[in-house]
A and B are shown apart, each in its own frame.
Chain A
Amino acid sequence: MENKNYTPVFDDNEMKTVEYHKSKYPAQMAAVMPLLWMIQEKYGWISTDAMKYVGDLLKLPHDHVLGVATFYSMYFKKPVGKYHLQICTNVSCMLCGGYDIFNHISRKLGIKNKEITPDGIFSIEEVECLGSCATAPMLQINNKEFHEKLTTEEADKLLENLRNSN
């Protein structure tokens, strides 16, 4: 990916959101998770400079922010593809073919777990239960939309659609 380490800046509007998040909690430190989310929404992943930036905004030691960012699996500490496919392989999905979906997509894109395609469009990750057990197997894109009750054909179609919409 081209932007190996970026320097983040929030504009005035975003700074208002920062102030709102600070006001929700009795202590500033609590706003660290919402702020990291804001960074990830804007830049796609969280760089070291971004962690320092959040630390400065909340008057927290930088290593505290690093500690938080690395503890939670949904914060990306490295760039991911434009479409980050998070495929569940936990028990309920596994019973319904979660690994088939994972291996199929992995083979199709020619990448392994936590790798990015050379064009930067796709990356895949094997994730733990996403609470979609009745509609297994499933995948989530960029921590957002759920795609449930998948078959390999539907997975193909999904990849095709994403590639075309790019």
Chain B
Amino acid sequence: MEKIILKDIPDLDKISVYESNGGYAAWKKVLSQMKPEEVIEEVKKSGLRGRGGACFPTGLKWSFMPKGNEKPKYLCCNGDESEPGSFKDREIFEKNPHQFIEGALIAAYSMGIKAVYVYIRGEYWKWINIMEECVSDAYKNGYIGKNILGSGYSVEMYVHKGAGAYICGEESSLMNSLEGKRGYPRVKPPFPAAVGVWGNPTTINNIETLANVPEIINKGAEWFSKIGEPKHPGTLLFGVSGHVNKPGVYELPTGIPLMTLINDYCGGVKNGKDFKMIIPGGSSMPPLTKEESLTMKMDAESLKAVGSAIGTAGVMVMNEDTDIVHVLQRITKFYYHESCGQCTPCREGCGWMLKVLNRIMDGTGRHSDLDLLISVAENIEGNTICALGDAAAWPVKWTIRKFRKEFEAKIKEDKTGLPAVNKVHGLRKSEEYMTISDHTEQVKVEKLMGKVQELTQNEDVKRFSS
């Protein structure tokens, strides 16, 4: 299988090696032979869809940008990559950074953009350094700057370093962060193509999306659209982690069976064990059960059909011994930590879900907790400015629905003796309405009362008190 991005060429991160392997040919072709509209048309025809998780058609996104030059326009390249389980952009920065730069330049040209910002998460210290070097090499060789290759087109490119906030991978939050503000997501509409960074038209694309563009220009839209699934063509960088023998990033055509990926490429599950759960696209995506995984094809449409999503194609594999409740607790802890705090449902809801999951893990959970968790999750979902709320709600909702028995096994005895039905909204005066801290307090008090009772039964104490 031919690879589009992670080609097996050593030292491809050096500009000379990249050039001698046909690098920047697409950029030259675009500048000398193609009009901006033709580039957009070609990308539209290729069927390329965004690789950041939402799978939005890239050419269509570019066509939303206003024509004309009344206002400066910007391109932001999203290399924030903070989704747990995804580590593909890092591979591009390391193995083929110039192809991404070339793609970003072509995108900028097609939309008449004058400045490109590459936003990379602050933790990627090594890869930020690589990118800064690559951008400066591209400047030196005349691919970026003023009047590029005599075409009359000018564009600047800057690397911007994040500082550790998952939310900044959300496009409007990324724009606020780039402007030097807190990374709070913005209400849409207006969409970035109308009012983006510094109030000007902006397009935000994922690193992997842009890295696909040069080959589409070189080999044509038709070639690209024939790779993988027709509705979601091209290759994906699958980042496989967890309990597999050979974790890593694998570039494979879309629509590849999940089992082929895990057994043939990743060497199967570690220690010859069976697997129990697979998260197909980063921690936000609803998990797959073993039965679903066996026949699952890895592309946007197939996963959508079972209520999950391809996300960032970060596949996390969990073996039969994995404590699913612990996994969900850890995922929820992540969203609680990363919620920016703007919307109440997400800020408070994530905390509630974490507290309830904590008590299930502690062994003080109640039977009604599972429905309570789903109820909280459903009240977060769709009620927040950005998708972080949904990202926090989906794993909770779907993991409980699909692995309910695992949770019930943890709730061995219900300390409150309430029926296993969610009566949160009905039981006005019951302890169901107690806050979580009230509950732990009550357990403490009950224990104390038990001690007191024991003592009062004691003959010595009786004698003493009388």
Q: Which residues of A contact B208 (CB under 8 A)?
A: none
In the complex, the chain A residue whose C-beta lies closest to that of B88 is A131
The residue that B123 contacts in the complex, of A24, A32, A140, with Cβ under 8 A, is A140
In the complex, the chain A residue whose C-beta lies closest to that of B182 is A71
B426 at interface (Cβ–Cβ under 8 A)?
no
B86 at interface (Cβ–Cβ under 8 A)?
yes
The residue that A129 contacts in the complex, of B84, B179, B249, with Cβ under 8 A, is B84
Contact pattern, A 87-121, Cβ under 8 Å of B = 1, otherwise 0 = 00111101110000000000000000000000000
Query: Which of B155-163, B186-194, B360-368 lies at the binding interface?
Result: B155-163
* Contact, CB under 8 Å: A131 / B316: no
Q: Which residues of B contact A72 (CB under 8 A)?
A: 122, 162-165, 183
* Contact, CB under 8 Å: B316 / A95: yes
Within 8 A of B (CB), among A28-47: 28-34, 36-37
* Contact, CB under 8 Å: A29 / B241: no
A6 at interface (Cβ–Cβ under 8 A)?
no
CA distance A104 to B248 in the complex (A): 26
Within 8 A of A (CB), among B166-189: 166, 177-183
CA distance A132 to B125 in the complex (A): 13
A127 → B minimal CB distance (Å) = 8
Q: Which residues of A contact B166 (CB under 8 A)?
A: 128
CA distance A78 to B160 in the complex (A): 24
B121 at interface (Cβ–Cβ under 8 A)?
yes
* Contact, CB under 8 Å: A91 / B327: yes
B330 at interface (Cβ–Cβ under 8 A)?
yes
B242 at interface (Cβ–Cβ under 8 A)?
yes
Contact pattern, A 59-82, Cβ under 8 Å of B = 1, otherwise 0 = 010001001100111110000000
* Contact, CB under 8 Å: A94 / B82: no
The residue that A30 contacts in the complex, of B81, B123, B180, B247, with Cβ under 8 A, is B180
* Contact, CB under 8 Å: A37 / B85: no
A142 → B minimal CB distance (Å) = 9
Please count the residue pairs between chain A and chain B whose beta carbons lie under 8 angstroms apart in the complex. Answer: 145
In the complex, the chain B residue whose C-beta lies closest to that of A94 is B330
* Contact, CB under 8 Å: A90 / B163: no
A55 → B minimal CB distance (Å) = 11
A1 at interface (Cβ–Cβ under 8 A)?
no
B72 at interface (Cβ–Cβ under 8 A)?
yes
The residue that B242 contacts in the complex, of A71, A89, A96, A132, with Cβ under 8 A, is A96
In the complex, the chain B residue whose C-beta lies closest to that of A34 is B161
* Contact, CB under 8 Å: A90 / B334: yes
In the complex, the chain B residue whose C-beta lies closest to that of A67 is B182
Q: Which residues of B contact A36 (CB under 8 A)?
A: 163
Contact pattern, B 321-339, Cβ under 8 Å of A = 1, otherwise 0 = 0100011001100100110
B225 → A minimal CB distance (Å) = 30
CA distance A32 to B248 in the complex (A): 36
From known contacts A91-B327, A144-B125, infer whether A30 and B90 are also in contact, taking CB-CB under 8 Å: no
A133 → B minimal CB distance (Å) = 3
A130 at interface (Cβ–Cβ under 8 A)?
yes
B226 at interface (Cβ–Cβ under 8 A)?
no
Q: Which residues of B contact A134 (CB under 8 A)?
A: 87, 239-241, 247-249
CA distance A143 to B316 in the complex (A): 25
Q: Which residues of A contact B81 (CB under 8 A)?
A: 131
B205 at interface (Cβ–Cβ under 8 A)?
no
CA distance A129 to B279 in the complex (A): 15
* Contact, CB under 8 Å: B182 / A128: no
In the complex, the chain B residue whose C-beta lies closest to that of A92 is B241
* Contact, CB under 8 Å: B85 / A129: yes
* Contact, CB under 8 Å: B330 / A29: no
Q: Which residues of B contact A27 (CB under 8 A)?
A: 179-180, 198
A136 at interface (Cβ–Cβ under 8 A)?
yes
B243 at interface (Cβ–Cβ under 8 A)?
yes
* Contact, CB under 8 Å: A129 / B177: no
The residue that B85 contacts in the complex, of A28, A92, A140, with Cβ under 8 A, is A92
* Contact, CB under 8 Å: A92 / B316: yes
Q: Could you tell me which B residues sit within 8 Å of A by CB distance?
A: 72, 81-87, 90, 115, 121-126, 158, 160-166, 177-183, 198, 239-243, 247-249, 279, 283, 314, 316, 318, 322, 326-327, 330-331, 334, 337-338, 340
A-B contact pairs, 15 of them (CB 8 A): A24-B158, A25-B178, A30-B179, A31-B180, A33-B163, A67-B181, A74-B123, A91-B84, A95-B243, A95-B318, A130-B123, A131-B82, A133-B239, A134-B240, A144-B125
Q: Could you tell me which A residues sit within 8 Å of B by CB distance?
A: 24-34, 36-37, 58, 60, 64, 67-68, 71-75, 89-92, 94-96, 128-136, 140, 143-146
Known contacts A91-B316, A91-B330; 9 further A-B pairs (Cβ under 8 A): A25-B158, A30-B178, A72-B163, A90-B84, A91-B85, A95-B327, A131-B87, A133-B247, A133-B314
Closest 3 CB pairs of A and B: A74-B164, A133-B241, A72-B163
